[in-house]
Amino acid sequence: ESRLHSLIGVASMNEGQHVTFQARVHHIRPLGSKIIFMVFRSQLTTLQGVLTEEEGVISHNMVRWAEGLNRETIVLVKGVVQRPPDGQEEVHSTRVHNHEVKIQKLYVIVGPTSTLPFQVEGVSRTEEADSKEDAHLPRVNQATRFTNRVLDLRLPANQAIFRIHAGVCLLFREFLQSQGFLEIQSSKFQESSTESGAEVFKVDYFRRPAFLAQSPQLAKQMCIAADMERVFEIGPVFRAENSNTHRHLTEFIGLDLEMQFESHYHEVLDIIDRMFIHMFRGLQERFREEIEVVKVQFPHDDLVILDETPRLKFAEGIGMLKESGWKEEDGSPADEWDDLSTAAERRLGQLVKEKYGADYYILDKFPLEARPFYTMLDPEDDRLSNSFDIFLRGEEILSGGQRIHVAPMLEERMRAAGIDPESMKDYVNGFRWGCPPHGGGGVGLERVVMLFLKLGDIRHASLFPRDPKSFAK
């Protein structure tokens, strides 16, 4: 067992306890010539330490030396937990703790050897807090933070975001495993494209062309044709879309699932709905501390999840938009045969929130033309499809639906989309050899994290984000 205490543990200890911990120097503030306050930071936690000159115990030189330490230095601290005098509670914390540490010994483990491009301490508070405290610190723009991402990731809010990021994967996997789904990992080298809308990245595969997978769509369907019944995958997805928006990355993590169903594709939708409820409630219960730390930097209201998720037909959604006075000039045609634009999605999200009070809802029965070739037609109206999108705070987080499982119909739809079935022979053979009725969906992990925490920009939800501007010199 480690002889070190964790900073979060120290923050909840009783007065008088002797502690030893390792942390970064987050902030240093002198009080007169004999006292300095040092704020220590470790992951989500910050805690104040106080070093006081004391005859025969802590020398004047020791205090001066400590005051001169660089921020971000990793130190080993020995001390005693005490209550700060009233009015001297730590003010630089992401969350205020009622205790501080009286520093008895301080050792440097390692410090920065070059000037930091910005100070973590200077960006770890909201705009509001910034204006009150430390107005002297230089403002740091987002670009500087992203080009120095390692330093940026040290922010307590970022530490919390990536725990929640892992939590989304954990809850997705946990729920699907409990429902008998098998976890798969499909190859990212592909022979052809999979999603009609998005562009593919071409790679040189021993001088033959290959493509990076735009989704595990073909592979997960082939697993159903191979009798695996229920599968899911968590893996990278590549899209060569030159979309410089707040919600598009060129590489993101896809949470995909595919399953056989008995009689209706709503069996798939029901599983997906229960999965999301499990995920959002699980995040709210198990990641409370992380959510609060994120809120310090990205203020937001908790997500509202109803016991019964509103399910609307696409045409009903368009009807609500039209009724609210939505016009073509507002961003997209309010037409039941066209896909929704981002602006229309958001407006519809507001309307659903006003009507049902929900931040999370389902839109079913999309127009066939707005969907990829593999989507099953609605047997009652072949201008529609058995497919759905799911929205969180008014933006798309999932696309899914029933797939065409009969070869002749699939081949016809491929030709109509300008795809030669022989160019995707391995895929088409899966159906020629008999495949059960099935459906599934795909979620963008970073979108879920961004919208759940209202981060405003998908880059905040990606460790080292890749977008169309990446690798530019």
Active site residue ranges: 239, 241, 247-248, 396, 399, 447
Q: Does 469 bind ligand ATP (CB under 6 A)?
A: no
Q: Does 156 bind ligand AMO (CB under 6 A)?
A: no
**Residue 411: which of ligand ATP, ligand AMO, none does it interact with, CB under 5 to 8 A by kind?**
none
Q: Which of 46, 48, 190, 215 binds ligand AMO (CB under 6 A)?
A: 215
Q: Which residue is nearest to ligand ATP (CB)?
A: 243
Instruction: Pick the piece of the chain touching ligand AMO (CB under 6 A) from 24-32, 36-44, 342-350, 394-402.
Output: 394-402
DSSP string, 46-104: EEEEEEE-BTTTB-HHHHHHHHTPPTT-EEEEEEEEEPPPTT-S-SS-SS--S-EEEEE
Report whether 203 contacts 169 (CB < 8 A): no
Instruction: Pick the piece of the chain touching ligand ATP (CB under 6 A) from 222-230, 241-249, 380-388, 419-427.
Output: 241-249
DSSP string, 323-362: HTT--GGGTS---TTSPPPHHHHHHHHHHHHHHH--SEEE
**Beta carbon nearer to ligand ATP, 45 or 399:** 399
Q: Which of 41, 154, 248, 405 binds ligand AMO (CB under 6 A)?
A: 248
Q: Which of 464, 428, 12, 404 has its CA nearest to residue 192?
A: 428
**Residue 341: which of ligand ATP, ligand AMO, none does it interact with, CB under 5 to 8 A by kind?**
ligand ATP
Report whether 345 contacts 351 (CB < 8 A): no
Whole-angstrom distance, CA of residue 77 vs CA of residue 49: 9
Neighbours of 143 (CB within 10 A): 9
Report whether 24 contacts 154 (CB < 8 A): yes
Helix H, strand E, coil C: the string for 356-370 is HCCCEEEEECCEHHH
Site string for ligand ATP, 257-286 (x = CB under 6 A): ------------------------------
Interactions with ligand ATP, residue window 314-343 (CB under 6 A)? 339, 341-342
Q: Which of 221, 399, 402, 462 binds ligand ATP (CB under 6 A)?
A: 399
Interactions with ligand ATP, residue window 46-65 (CB under 6 A)? none
Q: Which residue is nearest to ligand AMO (CB)?
A: 444
Binding site for ligand ATP (CB under 6 A): 197-198, 243, 245, 248, 339, 341-342, 396, 399
